[in-house]
Amino acid sequence: MTTITNHMPTAELQALDAAHHMHPFTHNDSLAEKGVRVITRARGVYLTDSDGHELLDAMAGLWCVNIGYGRRELAEAAARQMQELPYYNTFFQTTHTPAIALAQKLAERAPGDLNHVFFASSGSEANDTNIRLVRTYWDALGKPSKKTIISRMNAYHGSSVGSGSLGGMAFMHAQGGLPIPDVVHIGQPHWWAEGGDMTPEEFGLARARELETMIETLGEDNVAAFIAEPVQGAGGVIVPPDSYWPEIQRICDKYEILLIADEVICGFGRTGNWFGSQTLNIRPDIMTIAKGLSSGYQPIGGSIVSDAVAEVIAQVEFAHGYTYSGHPVAAAVALENLRILEEENIVGHVRDVAAPYMKTAWESLQDHPLVGETRIVGLMGSLALTPHKASRAKFAAEAGTAGLICREACFANNLVMRHVGDRMIISPPLIIQPEDIDKLIARARAALDICHAELKAQGLLKAAS
């Protein structure tokens, strides 16, 4: 057997990858033809690939490497824990100190009466937990008909059968028989793309009131919960109009509906507070966490549950759990990550330094001929590519054509910026400094110029009719 290392030529690694590795959310034949990019190491906010390029990672991996790459303390926490107790379960009336300490720390950090943690290894798993948790909650209260979970179109809540059903991605539902029964979707507060002639505030209210209409259509006695990301991430960093969340909160309060805030991206400093719910003034009954919980150094997620919900669940045997719920190594690494977030005041750095600087810089791209709108909360931002700003026009070409050209131009300029359709999105490590933000914006602008020239050359600057 050959030992596969970073010293092998890129082409060889690409061939082996194409032969055996099935990539998520990827057309694998096209990727094999093009050749996958091999990332070999990373430090701070920069990645290195197998050809020696140094890329500014404006996506923090996949929205997760919040404290940046290369923190030795997390590696040491993992090594220590592996030697002391690499694994034990939390099923059969046992526990261990990393799980205890992490649950306690999360209860301390989470707002309000969110004081109880059910662990998982990912955001998808945590949302699967939430489906069973909210239905079990109503069942235990003698209201078994309250089963339906209301979510939103273009939401992202994970990729398992349950969490993919909660999500509102039509292209995901088209594969594998999703959604599962008793999950329904209302419209998203995406004013730029769907707001028509309404003002953003009118549109935000209208979209929030779809929740009330849906509850009344289904009957309050049939609805268990509403789930939403405080700011939609994978859907394209859709920042809702200011009118949206207060109205959603009012509706959840008025009817007996549990509110699940999916904080997998927004949590742990991304929006300039510990949780997106604090930035957007939401009072959830349950929060989904993952990603930034460990800064991606270990796979771990979970559900932070209110006193009221936990008290009801505690009265039944909740027949649910994962072999790796509260995994000691993952928990120890998450704890070390939270220690660094606290002691280095990284959330304060986002709020007081990085986010204000980034906001000015990001919004400066608004003058580019291709950029329709820029939106940003904390350190998650998006911009809409458009062939015609004033009418908020979409491109005549298939959605994502311009976005893909722009993303490729970013890579060519040593910047990792993702596209969702024809929106470009950023979510850099939270430790990013102003000088790196300057680089990010300069490279993004250069990429926008290249994209503009290419769209023009290919005759793709036409608006959809």
> In the complex, what is the shortest distance from the CB of residue 409 to ligand PLP, in angstroms, rounded to a whole number?
25
Q: Which of the ranges 6-14, 154-162, 278-286, 363-371 carries the binding residues for ligand PLP, by CB under 6 A? A: 154-162
> In the complex, what is the shortest distance from the CB of residue 102 to ligand PLP, in angstroms, rounded to a whole number?
17
Among 234, 304, 354, 406, binds ligand PLP (CB under 6 A): 234
Q: Which of the ranges 47-55, 174-182, 262-270, 314-322 carries the binding residues for ligand PLP, by CB under 6 A? A: 262-270
Among 233, 269, 387, 421, binds ligand PLP (CB under 6 A): 233
Should residue 178 be labelled a site residue for ligand PLP when binding is judged by CB under 6 A? no
- Reading the block at residue 206, the tokens are 């209208």
Q: Which is nearer to ligand PLP, 241 or 299 (CB)?
A: 299
Should residue 262 be labelled a site residue for ligand PLP when binding is judged by CB under 6 A? yes
Among 158, 296, 326, 428, binds ligand PLP (CB under 6 A): 158
Among 208, 223, 260, 265, binds ligand PLP (CB under 6 A): 265
Among 14, 66, 81, 124, binds ligand PLP (CB under 6 A): 124
Angle (CA) 410-412-418 rounded to 5° is: 30
Binding string, 284-313, against ligand PLP, x = CB under 6 A?
A: ------xx---------x------------
- How far apart (Å, rounded) are the C-alpha atoms in residues 379 and 254? 33
Q: Is the bond into 299 cis (omega within 30 degrees of 0)?
A: no
> In the complex, what is the shortest distance from the CB of residue 22 to ligand PLP, in angstroms, rounded to a whole number?
16
Q: Which of residues 406-445 bind ligand PLP (CB under 6 A)?
A: none
Q: Which of residues 126-145 bind ligand PLP (CB under 6 A)?
A: 127
Q: Which is nearer to ligand PLP, 44 or 123 (CB)?
A: 123
CA neighbor of 247 nearest in space, from 265, 262, 232, 259: 259
- Do residues 302 and 327 lie in contact, with contact meaning Cβ atoms separated by under 8 Å? no
- Reading the block at residue 4, the tokens are 């596969």
Among 50, 66, 90, 122, binds ligand PLP (CB under 6 A): 122
Q: Which is nearer to ligand PLP, 156 or 203 (CB)?
A: 156
Q: Which of residues 29-88 bind ligand PLP (CB under 6 A)?
A: 63
Should residue 119 be labelled a site residue for ligand PLP when binding is judged by CB under 6 A? no
Among 44, 123, 292, 326, binds ligand PLP (CB under 6 A): 123
* Torsion (CA) 431, 433, 439, 444 in degrees, nearest 10: 50
Residue nearest ligand PLP, CB atom distance: 123
Size of the site for ligand PLP (CB under 6 A): 17
Q: Which of the ranges 92-100, 121-129, 338-346, 426-434 carries the binding residues for ligand PLP, by CB under 6 A? A: 121-129
- How far apart (Å, rounded) are the C-alpha atoms in residues 91 and 211? 37
Q: Which is nearer to ligand PLP, 261 or 310 (CB)?
A: 261
301: β partners: 120
> In the complex, what is the shortest distance from the CB of residue 411 to ligand PLP, in angstroms, rounded to a whole number?
22
Q: Rule CB under 6 A: which residues touch ligand PLP?
A: 63, 122-124, 127, 156-158, 229, 233-234, 262, 264-265, 290-291, 301
